[in-house]
């Protein structure tokens, strides 16, 4: 039997069944993160916007996947252009069940694994515009954004583009996922504008249980996100998997301490946020730093994000669910941390400043500046152009009524009282 399996693997041409099995699992784990994100976000909004908020993430599963198959994958992973890839893999031309060049897994599996990253990244931005943006224009935005912002950035750092050529280390998406979504959210909040009641009324999370369960499921999925980014099932997978436990745990501890110091109460919404911030920070670093490094990064990452989340609601910037604080700042912290604390003795890949490679930090910093500026600028332009063709926001009346009813004609918590069946005319 073993001989038979070995023969099959050889016939498939360099495909390793162990690696493939782990990548299949990882891909499914990452795909689950998008509905988990929907649940997390849905808990953080008012009850009348529950379904709409969740649907913004569910929508990404549809439109972004289709865009990825049509041309997104090709832009990200076809060829070695310095800014964008080519179009040879459009409609998945030339991508089959055979081995992906340079890897030991089927090419088609690689496409799906990378698709799952693009999906959740586009969905993340919804946190900036919940409770007021129209559903249709948001779907259009996510589609365009995945092709214009995500795919080029993924190419630049993972697909052989200029950041990769300069040795920038980004394990699982500090550049195209975390910083890109955070700073795009910043721009989106500015273009779409604040909720009408922002700054006048308390806009409170309606279900902390959703937020905690959503964050927990995101953390669970993140083991595939970071662990799978090894693209094999060996030591890189084990290191990044372990660090995905350690860093968010440290952030959670730091967050609880900060909460206790500031208000004498450890909050549940704070704990949910801390899990996300820690997982974000370790994302670019997971396979490059030591386990103790991951603990340190987790503790460190709590500080800028916590400070920003306390300060931001006092401003006019209604970046409603703090994507910039959690993903933008968490991503910056993680990418720069790699520049200091990457440890070749653990990863076998590269060292940071304190282990003797001073050149790395500079390029990590350049990646931060360029990614943040590009994501912010491109998102700003995409939404401004979209606004020329259609209204981005619902009417003030619909905003008051809630987007569940106005955008979807459904309610999350319907009782059925007073609901009269409409009989369809029988033909």
Instruction: Enumerate binding residues for another protein (CB under 8 A).
Output: 48, 197, 201, 397, 400-402, 405, 409-411, 414, 417-422, 424
Cα-flanking dihedrals φ and ψ of residue 338, to 5°? Answer: -60, -40
Closer to another protein at the Cβ: 284 or 402? 402
CB 299, CB 350: distance < 8 Å = no
CB of 21 to another protein, least distance (A): 37
Closer to another protein at the Cβ: 13 or 400? 400
Name the DSSP class of 99.
Answer: B
Q: Helix or strand or coil: residue 184?
A: helix
CB of 395 to another protein, least distance (A): 11
Closer to another protein at the Cβ: 388 or 422? 422
Residue 335 corresponds to which tokens in the numbers above? 């990418």
CB of 390 to another protein, least distance (A): 23
Cα-flanking dihedrals φ and ψ of residue 197, to 5°? Answer: -95, 0
Closer to another protein at the Cβ: 46 or 360? 46
CB of 411 to another protein, least distance (A): 7
Closest CA to 136 of 406, 426, 358, 411: 406
CB 228, CB 424: distance < 8 Å = no
CB of 418 to another protein, least distance (A): 3
Closer to another protein at the Cβ: 203 or 382? 203
Closer to another protein at the Cβ: 3 or 417? 417
CB of 59 to another protein, least distance (A): 18
Closer to another protein at the Cβ: 59 or 330? 59
Closer to another protein at the Cβ: 196 or 344? 196
CB of 34 to another protein, least distance (A): 23
Closer to another protein at the Cβ: 390 or 396? 396
Find residue 106's DSSP bridge partners: 99
Q: How many CB atoms lie within 10 A of CB 204?
A: 10
CB 184, CB 145: distance < 8 Å = yes
Buried-state track 129-144, b at ≥16 Cβ within 10 A, e below 16:
bbbbbbeebbbebbbb
CB of 419 to another protein, least distance (A): 4
Cα 126 to Cα 384: distance, rounded to the nearest angstrom: 16
CB 174, CB 335: distance < 8 Å = yes
CB of 309 to another protein, least distance (A): 24
End-to-end CA distance of the chain: 61
CA quadruple 398, 400, 401, 404: dihedral, nearest 10: 80
Cα 144 to Cα 156: distance, rounded to the nearest angstrom: 18
CB of 400 to another protein, least distance (A): 4
Cα 314 to Cα 61: distance, rounded to the nearest angstrom: 34
Residue 30 corresponds to which tokens in the numbers above? 């990452």
Closer to another protein at the Cβ: 101 or 409? 409
Residue 347 corresponds to which tokens in the numbers above? 């990863």
If 0-12 CB within 10 Å is exposed, 13-18 middle and 19+ buried, where does residue 265 land? Answer: exposed
């Amino acid at each position: 039997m073993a001989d038979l399996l070995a023969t099959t693997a050889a016939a498939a041409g360099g495909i390793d069944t162990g690696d493939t099995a782990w990548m299949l699992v990882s891909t499914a784990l990452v795909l689950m993160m998008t509905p988990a994100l929907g649940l997390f976000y849905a808990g953080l909004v008012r009850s009348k916007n529950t379904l709409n908020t969740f649907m913004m993430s569910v929508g990404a599963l549809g439109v972004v996947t289709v865009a990825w198959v049509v041309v997104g994958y090709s832009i990200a992973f076809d060829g070695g252009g310095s800014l964008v890839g080519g179009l040879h893999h459009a409609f998945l031309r030339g991508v089959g069940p055979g081995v992906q060049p340079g890897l030991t897994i089927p090419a088609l599996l690689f496409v799906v694994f990378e698709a799952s990253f693009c999906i959740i990244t586009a969905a993340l931005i919804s946190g900036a515009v919940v409770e007021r943006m129209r559903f249709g224009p948001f779907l259009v935005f996510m589609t365009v954004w995945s092709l214009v912002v995500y795919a080029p950035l993924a190419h630049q750092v993972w697909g052989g583009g200029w950041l990769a050529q300069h040795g920038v280390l980004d394990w699982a998406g500090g550049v195209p996922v975390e910083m890109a979504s955070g700073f795009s959210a910043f721009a989106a909040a500015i273009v779409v504008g604040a909720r009408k009641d922002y700054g006048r009324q308390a806009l409170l999370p309606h279900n902390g249980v959703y937020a905690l369960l959503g964050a927990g499921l995101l953390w669970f999925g993140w083991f595939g996100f970071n662990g799978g980014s090894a693209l094999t099932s060996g030591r890189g997978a084990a290191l990044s998997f372990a660090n995905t436990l350690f860093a968010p745990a440290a952030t959670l501890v730091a967050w609880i301490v900060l909460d206790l110091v500031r208000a004498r109460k450890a909050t549940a919404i704070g704990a949910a946020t801390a899990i996300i911030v820690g997982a974000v920070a370790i994302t670019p670093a997971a396979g490059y730093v030591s386990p103790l490094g991951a603990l340190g990064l987790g503790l460190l990452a709590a500080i800028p994000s916590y400070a920003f989340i306390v300060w931001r609601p006092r401003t006019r910037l209604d970046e409603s669910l703090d994507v910039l604080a959690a993903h933008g700042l968490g991503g910056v912290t993680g990418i720069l941390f790699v520049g200091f604390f990457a440890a070749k003795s653990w990863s076998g890949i590269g060292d940071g400043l304190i282990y003797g490679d001073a050149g790395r930090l500079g390029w990590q910093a350049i990646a931060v500046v360029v990614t943040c500026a590009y994501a912010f600028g491109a998102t700003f332009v995409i939404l401004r152009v979209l606004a020329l063709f259609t209204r981005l926001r619902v009417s003030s009346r619909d905003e008051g009524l809630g987007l569940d009813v106005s955008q979807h004609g459904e309610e999350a918590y319907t009782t059925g009282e007073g609901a009269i069946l409409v009989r369809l005319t029988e033909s």
